[in-house]
A = this chain, B = another copy of it.
Amino acid sequence: MNQIQLEEMLKAFLLEDIGSKDVTRQSIFPPGQIGKAEFLVKEDGVIAGLDLIRSVYRLLDETIVVDVQVKDGAIVSEGDVIAQAKGPVRHLLTGERLILNLMQRLSGIATLTRRSVKSLNDSTIHICDTRKTTPGLRVLEKYAVRIGGGKNHRFGLDDGDMIKDNHIGVAGSIEAAVAKVREETGHMMQVEVETETEADVIAAVKAGADIIMFDNCSPSEVKERVSLVPDHIVTEASGGITLETLHEYAGTGVDYISLGYLTHSAKALDISLNVSISE
């Protein structure tokens, strides 16, 4: 994570939640009142985003001391205390909602990714994400996918080429489309071609694609198409694969399976904060 970028994001999020002031807490808690906060897991899963506790609290009050019990990626169970923070109560409480909103979402994504990896149960195939992320949170959500054992697909339209149906139609052929794209980009940019048919796959190989994606294919189709692709070209299956059907793709020999649901359908992992006031 780029800490400078993260800090700007967190400032914006705190501003959204706090607005001009935290009325209630400032009325009730005297500035010097010290308390202890415990982050408590309320359902089993994989934790992601623990560093956010420190990052958010540092923005609110540099005197808050954070103590983290586990590491990102840890498998946790209901009842586990994953972190503690000590410092002025009003700031412990002001940061609560943002930390939980983010950490619950990231842990939810990490948990779902890990569940997907286990369900697939084929260590030769990587699970990866898509661009179907929450606007404004892409960097964080893709981090959570890695924590859950997945890989990241491209981060935006500028760090990888994806040649799709439409592009091929306009360019005239897969070969022409790849050639056009290669003309504009350099060697650090991977070119991926979406294919619908076996003929497409053969054309993409011939066109020199770096990655060939099989769109909306059944496990047996994936298997057949993988066999058409030489080893140094990466293969990817995508489209219509759910947590329920994922395991059927084990053994197909494909290199990557990309799953939109990892980021757009993850349920938040339930985590709560208990704050006690020091005497």
- Closest Cβ of chain B: how far from A100's Cβ, in Å? 8
- Closest Cβ of chain B: how far from A13's Cβ, in Å? 4
**CB neighbours of A185 from chain B (8 A):** 23, 27, 151-152
Which of A20, A138, A162, A181 has the largest number of chain B CB atoms within 10 A?
Answer: A20
Any chain B CB within 8 A of the CB of A223? no
**CB neighbours of A186 from chain B (8 A):** 126, 128, 151-153, 256
How many subunits of this chain does the assembly comprise? 6
Which of A17, A22, A153, A256 has the largest number of chain B CB atoms within 10 A?
Answer: A17
Complex: A5 Cα to B236 Cα, angstroms: 32
Tell whether, in the assembled complex, residue A162 and residue B24 are in contact, meaning their CB atoms are under 8 Å apart: yes
- Choose, from A80-88, A89-97, A112-120, A243-251, the stretch at the interface: A89-97
Contact with B along A55-77 (1 / 0, CB 8 A): 00001100000000000000000
Any chain B CB within 8 A of the CB of A252? no
Tell whether, in the assembled complex, residue B187 and residue A256 are in contact, meaning their CB atoms are under 8 Å apart: yes
Tell whether, in the assembled complex, residue B277 and residue A22 are in contact, meaning their CB atoms are under 8 Å apart: no
**CB neighbours of A101 from chain B (8 A):** 131-135, 264
**CB neighbours of A131 from chain B (8 A):** 17, 97, 101
Any chain B CB within 8 A of the CB of A217? no
Tell whether, in the assembled complex, residue B256 and residue A181 are in contact, meaning their CB atoms are under 8 Å apart: no
Task: With A19-B156, A156-B17 as known contacts, state yes or no: A232 contacts B232, CB within 8 Å.
Answer: yes
Tell whether, in the assembled complex, residue B135 and residue A102 are in contact, meaning their CB atoms are under 8 Å apart: yes
Find the B residue at minimum CB distance from A191.
Answer: B24
Task: With A151-B186, A187-B236, A232-B232 as known contacts, state yes or no: A20 contacts B2, CB within 8 Å.
Answer: yes
Any chain B CB within 8 A of the CB of A203? no
